[in-house]
Structure formats: C-alpha cells, structure tokens
Amino acid sequence: MSINEIISIKGLSKSYGSTRAVDNLSLSVGKGEFFGFLGPNGAGKTTTIRMISGIIKPDSGKITVSGFTENQKEEITRLLGILPESRGFYDWMTATEYLSFFAALYRIPEKQADKKIIQLLEQVDLLKSKEKKIGTYSRGMKQRLGLARTLINDPQLLILDEPTLGLDPQGQVDIQNLLMRLNSQGVTIFYSSHLLHEVSKLCSPVAIINQGRLVAQGTCQELMEKTKSQSLADVFLTLTQTQHD
C-alpha cells in the first residue's frame, strides 16, 4: 500500500449464491481525496462499502484501510465514519441521547462528548431540536443526524452512501458545504450517490462500477474527454449502457 493511499482494494470479489455482486474489483483512494463512487442500482456499490467497512467479508481479494487489514477491525473502526444507505435510528431517543450513546461506544469522556455533541448538532442545524424524539424527525432531519453520528469520533475517513437523500435544496447545500470544509481539513471522503451533478461538484477523482466491475476511474474532466461527453451524467450513461448492451 502506497503511503499516500488510505483505501487499497485489490482483486475484490463477493458472490451471493450464483450472483456475483463484486467481480475482481481493484481501486485505490488517496489520503485527503473527495472520491466519488458511482454505479447503477445493483452494480455492487453497497456490497463494496460493506466490505471496506468490515461488515461483510470478501470471498477473495485484499482490502487495506490506512494500512490496516480486515482482521484489524478495531483499528479501522477508530478512524472510520460510515453513513450507510439504510440508517438505523432509535426513535424513542432524543438527538442528544442518540449521539451520547455512540460517543460512549467510542469511549469518549463525557465532558468532551457533551461539547462535541453540541458542536455537531449546530453543524447539521439540529441544535434547536436536540431534545425532541427522533421518531418525530423528518427524513431530512434524520439524514443530518446520521451525518452527525458519523463525525462523533473525528474520523480520518468518511464513507457516505447517499448522504443528501431526502434533503431539500438548502439542506443539500448545507451538507455539501460541511463536507467540503471537512475535506479541506484533511478528512478523506468516499462518496456514493446517484446525484451526479452533486458528485461532479464535489468529487475528484471518481470511479464508476457496473455489474461489480470497475469500468472507469479518473477526474470528471478526464472521463468526459475520454468518452466525448458534456457532463458526468453523459459519461455515466455511456459507460453503464455500453456494459449492459
């Protein structure tokens, strides 16, 4: 693994029965990058994310995260913040209780955690709703709370799956600005989304997978030039439709 890589994936494969979800995938993510990870539904994005984060094991291949292998889960957990596509919330808790629960899991001292929680709730515009039950939150509010949870341990690497889904335009801009600020502070962001205009604004480089295989990787400009396209959406459609044909 290169000293400048934070994620290294080599020959990664995973099958569910006769279905090959990820097929001999290799890619690398550099430290400090805002890395876009794209693909149509069923392309293998969520399976790849689950393998990177250690939730499921690959059938073959190798993953290292900041030099740690899949057998070093505790070390990886400490430097990782994950926002999965399907979020888990405890609706009977308040936002403060929810974040305190996760702070305790990371063994963050109580006084330090209390200060961090207020800071995070302010960042995601939930401070005024911090004592309301999560069950009363809108989808967008839950989305922002999920992002706050991923930041509780000051991660070096954020893995985000559809982080602005369900947010209104202002909410999307707020989260984008927060993520750009975090990235400028050195946090690496691995970003999966179907909102291609958002990816083209935030990410460089991007990787596109289809049917579990890597079909392209590079900057948006490089991929547009390679495929003679006018936008990332055109690149995406060209590469994924070609693979389907």
Per-residue pLDDT of the chain (245 residues; tens, 9 = 90+): 555 889 999 999 999 999 999 999 999 999 999 999 999 988 999 999 999 988 889 999 999 999 888 888 888 888 899 988 766 788 899 999 999 999 999 999 999 999 999 999 998 889 999 999 999 998 888 888 999 999 999 999 999 998 887 788 888 888 888 899 899 999 999 999 888 989 999 998 999 999 999 999 999 899 999 889 888 999 999 888 854 43
pLDDT of residue 244: 45
Residue 98 and residue 134 in contact, taking contact as beta carbons nearer than 8 Å:
yes
pLDDT of residue 86: 65
Query: Superfamily for 17-87+155-244?
Result: P-loop containing nucleotide triphosphate hydrolases (3.40.50.300)
Separation CA 233–CA 224 (nearest Å): 10
Q: Give the domain ranges of the chain.
A: 17-87+155-244
Take residue 34 and report the two structure tokens written for it. Answer: 């805002």
Whole-model pTM: value is 0.89
Alpha helices in 31-168 (DSSP H): 45-52, 73-79, 95-105, 110-123, 139-150
Rg of the Cα trace of the chain? 18
